[in-house]
């Protein structure tokens, strides 16, 4: 089914739409344009919980722009896929760079647009990167944020067949072989912990870009990075919530975006202070690049500071304030 231009007009296609609208708001500072771009009751699932009003997006965006006036967020990838004939779901990877200092971090925003208006968003920022660059106390920074918690679609059970139906709705089942390859990798390596199977899915010269601006290479690096994520939550599991695919030579060919939820109890290695035994609910997004049927690159983001904030709240640590949920 062809996508009606009403989904992305007046731009050339959804890729052009996402890049230009984002630049208009975040670089040209047209914050008020959000009123035209977002529905009044738009829903945003972020690392600190769910917001349900457009005004909160406007206020949060203003605070972020004011706090980082020298930052430019540049599109690094846009993985978009149709949702019916008048809507699309995009996975927008942004490289946010300070034009003065050169400090940088990554964000992925997955946005469901219907008839040119944003109705639901899932967004993750690598706040750990900035904290490390500034030498911040990670636990103190986490206590300055209040984890609100999620509502709406994020609390529903994970889709039973995400290849066909995700949190954003029915998908067109594009590139099924690539999608099955990624889903099998997640179930085998991430969830079943068969770390010896990494080479079955990945090229030897793999690259993983992940939180804290970390760059991981080779299968053994991939294994160790996954172990570092899992060691604090050894019984945790990744749920696949949504999928997009896109094949575009501008972005090195075929990519698959996965929105995932990690759920697990903090019962393992004390990477985040004293264990609580309480569950965490982590919103994450991965963008995979494939070449000749094998995985060659992943960008995997979640908000490590927000994760610390969840744990601090469960532990009863005294918060020192409240900042911007968006």
Per-residue buried b or exposed e for 121-158, using 16+ beta carbons within 10 Å of the residue's own CB = bbbbbbbbbbbbbeebebeebbbebbbeebeebbeeee
Q: What is the pLDDT of residue 146?
A: 84
SS3 267: coil
* Architecture category of domain 165-315 in CATH: Roll (3.10)
* Least confident window among 231-235, 298-302, 318-322: 318-322
Sequence ranges of the domains in the chain: 5-143, 165-315
What is the band of 326 on the pLDDT scale with cuts at 50, 70, 90? low
Q: How far is CA 237 from CA 30, 79, 190, 198, in A?
A: 40, 25, 8, 17
Could you give the angle at the alpha carbon of 22 between the alpha carbons of 30 and 150, nearest 5°?
Answer: 100
Summary mean pLDDT of the chain: 95
pLDDT over threshold 70, residue 318: no
What is the band of 300 on the pLDDT scale with cuts at 50, 70, 90? very high
**φ, ψ of residue 230 in degrees (nearest 5):** -85, -20
pLDDT over threshold 80, residue 322: no
Average pLDDT (290-307) is: 97
pTM of the prediction? 0.96
Do the two domains 5-143 and 165-315 of this chain adopt the same fold?
A: yes
Strand partners, 158: none
Q: Mention the CATH class of domain 5-143.
A: alpha beta
Contact 260, 241 (CB under 8 A): yes
pLDDT by residue (tens digit) across 183-223?
999 999 999 999 999 999 999 999 999 999 999 999 999 99
Q: 14-26 and 54-67 helices cross at what angle (nearest 10)?
A: 60
pLDDT by residue (tens digit) across 222-254?
999 999 999 999 999 999 999 999 999 999 999
pLDDT by residue (tens digit) across 18-51?
999 999 999 999 999 999 999 999 999 999 999 9
Helices (H), the chain: 14-26, 34-37, 54-67, 127-133, 138-143, 176-185, 198-201, 218-230, 304-315
Q: What percent of the chain has pLDDT over 70?
A: 97
Q: What is the DSSP string of 127-154?
A: HHHHHHHTT--HHHHHHTS---B--GGG
Contact 165, 159 (CB under 8 A): yes
What is the band of 324 on the pLDDT scale with cuts at 50, 70, 90? low
Q: What is the pLDDT of residue 323?
A: 57
Could you give the angle at the alpha carbon of 213 between the alpha carbons of 145 and 21, nearest 5°?
Answer: 75
Select from 245, 246, 236, 199 the least CA-distant residue to 219: 199
């Amino acid at each position: 089914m062809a996508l009606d231009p009403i989904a992305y007009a007046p731009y050339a296609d959804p890729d052009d739409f996402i890049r230009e609208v984002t630049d208009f708001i975040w670089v040209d500072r047209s914050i008020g344009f959000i009123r035209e771009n977002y529905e009044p009751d738009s829903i945003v699932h972020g690392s600190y919980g769910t917001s349900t009003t457009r005004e909160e997006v406007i206020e949060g965006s203003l605070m972020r722009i004011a706090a980082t006036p020298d930052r430019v967020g540049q599109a690094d990838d846009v993985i978009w896929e149709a949702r019916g004939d008048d809507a699309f779901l995009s996975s927008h990877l942004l490289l946010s760079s300070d034009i003065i200092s050169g400090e940088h971090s990554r964000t992925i925003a997955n946005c469901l647009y219907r008839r040119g208006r944003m109705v639901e968003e899932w967004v993750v920022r690598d706040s750990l990167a900035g904290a490390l660059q500034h030498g911040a106390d990670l636990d103190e920074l986490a206590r300055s944020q209040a984890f609100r918690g999620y509502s709406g679609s994020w609390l529903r059970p994970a889709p039973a067949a995400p290849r066909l139906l995700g949190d954003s709705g029915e998908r067109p089942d594009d590139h099924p072989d690539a999608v099955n390859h990624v889903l099998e990798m997640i179930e085998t390596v991430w969830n079943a912990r068969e770390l010896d199977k990494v080479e079955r899915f990945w090229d030897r010269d793999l690259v993983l870009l992940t939180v804290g601006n970390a760059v991981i290479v080779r299968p053994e690096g991939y294994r160790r990075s996954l172990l570092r994520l899992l060691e604090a939550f050894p019984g945790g599991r990744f749920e696949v919530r949504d999928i997009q695919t896109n094949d575009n030579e501008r972005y090195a060919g075929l990519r698959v975006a996965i929105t995932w939820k990690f759920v697990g109890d903090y019962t393992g290695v004390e990477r985040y202070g004293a264990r609580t035994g309480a569950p965490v609910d982590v919103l994450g997004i991965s963008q995979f690049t494939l070449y000749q049927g094998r995985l060659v690159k992943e960008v995997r983001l979640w908000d490590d500071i927000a994760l610390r904030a969840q744990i601090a709240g469960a532990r009863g640590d005294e918060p020192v304030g409240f900042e911007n949920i968006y």
